[in-house]
A and B are shown apart, each in its own frame.
Chain A
């Protein structure tokens, strides 16, 4: 853990997390008339931003060596890829696209 990460920084991250959570709930509120796909993209983007804040600041990954950072981060490129491919397959099967 780096001494450079001060308590003030932790509290600032808390504010960011609270604001993003509030924005998420606002965006997910039914009846706004927004396209659901766009809402989903917005919600996922904000969730990823929150997860990154926790990972880098509260878990101090930003202070770790480059090797450890890569060990932790690089594998996470795979699940979104699988998700897109497999969910697209399920959607296509449902709608008889192939």
Chain B
């Protein structure tokens, strides 16, 4: 508000970005720093030990590579949904959003498979005692792994639920096509962020 009680003049500093889109960007920025904090903690713990194992000795890189590509594919279906929504293509939006939701469910299924096998083999949140291991594995290796990938998995779950809500809203014609396009685009930002974070988690936690 100005000194005379008039509303501030709108500016074009944020271009055509809607309020919802700017709000999502700010949320993602805050969320990105949550992940940064976790990865920083991981890096500090790892740099402070000389008995940190090579991740590939305990983690299934092949399965995770498939999951990584799967998540990237779901980013493509999401961006297709955004394109369809922008073009007011209702059927296309529904189709691509449904694929994206399936992508999220598939990733979560893969993560469940990975976790269940690790836990069965003696690696869980509290300890790293893999069956038949000859080298010491610090418990921090396991706890940071489950903490970071679990926090990311929670984001995949949230994003899948969020995308499902947007999908059903589109099917029910809850919003005008223009408003719906905005909703799909904002949901898309969140989903791409989940993909972007996984790209970094895959590199730092699994590959390096």
- Report A's interface with B, CB cutoff 8 A: 1, 3, 7, 10-11, 14, 17-18, 21, 24-25, 28, 30, 39-40, 43-44, 46-47, 50-51, 54-55, 58-59, 64-65, 67-68, 71-72, 75-76, 79, 82-83, 86-88, 90-91, 93-94
Contacts and interface: CB of A to CB of B under 8 A. Distances in A.
Contacts, number: 122
Q: How large is the interface on B (under 10, 10 to 19, 20 to 34, 35 or more residues)?
A: 35 or more
Contacts of B61: 25, 28
Nearest to A25: B65
Contacts of A68: 14-15, 17, 22, 25
Interface of B: 12-15, 17, 22, 25-26, 29, 32-33, 36, 39-40, 43-50, 54, 56, 61, 65, 68-69, 72-73, 75-76, 78-80, 82-83, 86, 185, 188-189, 192-193, 195-196, 199-200, 202-204, 207-208
Nearest to A76: B32
A59 B192 contact: yes
A64 B17 contact: yes
Given A65-B13, A68-B25, A58 B47 contact: no
B207 A43 contact: yes
Contacts of A47: 199-200, 202-204
A93 B27 CA distance: 36
A30 B189 CA distance: 35
User: What are the 5 A-B residue pairs with the smallest beta carbon separation, nearest first?
Assistant: A65-B15, A90-B48, A47-B203, A87-B47, A90-B47
B135 to A, nearest CB: 14
19 contacts: A1-B82, A1-B83, A17-B72, A25-B65, A28-B56, A28-B207, A30-B54, A51-B196, A54-B192, A59-B189, A65-B17, A67-B13, A68-B14, A72-B25, A87-B47, A90-B47, A91-B47, A91-B48, A94-B48
B201 to A, nearest CB: 9
Nearest to B82: A1
Contact of A18 (B72, B78, B207): B72
Chain A: interface secondary structure? helix
Given A21-B69, A79-B36, A71 B203 contact: no
Contacts of B80: 7, 10
